[in-house]
Amino acid sequence: MWAAAPALLLLLLLLLPLARLWRRGAARLEPAGRAVLITGCDSGFGHLLALRLHRLGFTVFAGCLCPGGDGAQRLQREAGGAGRLRVLRLDVTRARDVRAAKELVLSHLPERGFWGLVNNAGISTFGETGWLPMETYEKFADVNLLGSIRTTLAFLPLLRKYKGRIVFMSSIIAYFTLGNGIYSMTKAAIEKFCDALRLEMKKFGVQVCIIQPGNYAPSTKIQPPLSAEEIWSELSEEEKAVYSKEYVQERANFFNSILSEGSTNGSEVVDAMVDALTSPAPKARYMVAKLKEKVLVFVCALFPTVVMDSVLSYALSK
């Protein structure tokens, strides 16, 4: 049996692309009468996706941290006041907000039910490991990781009932880090949560997809530039004794230069999110990144750690 395993694995690898092509040739999903809940719609990808899905015909529940804020108000105006897009308060760190969101969805379900959950809400910051207090680590874990889990657990019964889709916003930063280890940590954790969930949900007909954008900081505004003065003022006395202000300035300049090189075309990522929700054969992972970013991920995934450490150390030294 085991002797035949390599041949069977090779056959499977050859047949899988053909099966995917056949399935993707099937009719795409009919959005009308299906509901989708999106978190983090105040700005960025969530805002763009809510508008796109609304235009496609979905019933959209757009979760916003500040439903009275400029982003949420603009979203309602851009949707044209149509009843198929509802803005609701949704802080994914608050269990009562998640419960209220579920109650609202249940009371306004369209005829075809609840189709999709998009866990998009997230925050980012810059800083070496010792620069950030424990409270910041706890906040990031609560928003980026536990927030997605909290919302997913609440809506799992509906997703199982309607055999829907769950989409998670990850990042290529799940594979490596360049000065934002706290963000990388949460994205690596959400990837593993999704891997477990994807396998467990197959028996219910629920599909789980991960979106892995590259650098889209200018498009999403998730990470504004940071000044060395801001960083320095937040450092503990112990850290100030170790790092000079000049070093902090160098690191801030380096990180800000990376941010400025990011793509402004957030529609590329939204295209992947829409495919994950509507394709008859969605991918488990959608990597939407520049070639050099994909190469970096490839090196990280396939080469020994010492090689990746050397590449990243060289980049940091420049």
Sheet holding 165-169, edge to edge: 85-89, 59-64, 35-38, 114-119, 165-169, 207-213, 285-288
Give the span between the Cα atoms of 111 and 254, in whole angstroms: 51
Q: Which of 175, 183, 216, 286 is catalytic?
A: 183
Residues contacting residue 113 through CB under 8 Å, at least 6 positions apart = 34, 35, 158, 161, 162, 164
* b/e sequence 261-278, b meaning 16+ C-beta within 10 Å: ebbeebeebbebbbbbbb
Residue 81 region, left (φ>0) first, then alpha (ψ -120 to 50), else beta?
left
Give the span between the Cα atoms of 108 and 145, in whole angstroms: 28
Answer yes or no: 137 catalytic: no
Q: Give the residue from 189, 210, 198 showing the smallest Cα distance to 140.
A: 189
Residues that are catalytic: 183
